[in-house]
């Protein structure tokens, strides 16, 4: 026993330095563990927010129910969007207008042609001819960018401008 005590007394400085290093390492490890525990506790509190000591299974079931509701709402909105998108194709989407002087003896550009077309270039051209003694307005249907009626130069021009517009 005396040999062990002598050996300890001989290496006492090294043993104390080793124990101090070990204590420093343990303090560093303790600090790291407390920080990670703190982060884990914050994440747990965030996960369990809005609950009054419910168990985790009830919380997960509630979240899954919310996800199912959101999926159903998303599908309903997609159906509504598809319906509206198919209906918009037939709405007026492209408009073009040109004003011009139909007769040389009339002072201003009071005559006009308006093209109103949908996505498929179906629609109408409305033309108003202004003269000194009378004014006439008429419409010509347009199917796929063509009219079955004879178009004037101005009507052709307004139709081409309208068809070239981007949606």
- The number of helix segments (H) and strand segments (E) in the chain equals 4, 4
Provide the pLDDT for residue 134.
Answer: 84
The pLDDT tens digits for 71-100 are 999 999 999 999 998 888 889 999 999 998
pLDDT lower than 50: segments of the chain? none
Provide the pLDDT for residue 50.
Answer: 66
CA distances from 41 to 17, 26, 55, 60 (A): 36, 22, 16, 18
Provide the pLDDT for residue 78.
Answer: 96
Provide the pLDDT for residue 60.
Answer: 82
Provide the pLDDT for residue 132.
Answer: 78
């Amino acid at each position: 026993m005396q040999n062990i005590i002598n050996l300890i007394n001989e290496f006492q400085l090294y043993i104390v330095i080793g124990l101090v290093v070990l204590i420093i390492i343990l303090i560093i490890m303790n600090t790291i563990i407390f920080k990670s525990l703190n982060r884990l506790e914050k994440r747990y509190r965030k996960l369990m927010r809005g609950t009054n000591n419910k168990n985790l299974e009830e919380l997960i079931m509630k979240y899954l129910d919310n996800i199912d509701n959101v999926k159903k709402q998303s599908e309903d909105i997609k159906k509504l969007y598809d319906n509206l998108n198919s209906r918009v194709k037939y709405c007026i989407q492209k408009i073009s207008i040109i004003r011009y002087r139909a007769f040389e003896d009339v002072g201003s550009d009071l005559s006009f042609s308006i093209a109103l077309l949908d996505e498929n270039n179906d629609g109408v051209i409305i033309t108003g001819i202004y003269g000194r003694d009378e004014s006439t307005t008429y419409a010509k249907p347009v199917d796929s960018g063509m009219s079955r009626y004879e178009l004037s130069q101005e009507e052709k021009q307004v139709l081409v401008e309208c068809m070239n517009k981007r949606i």
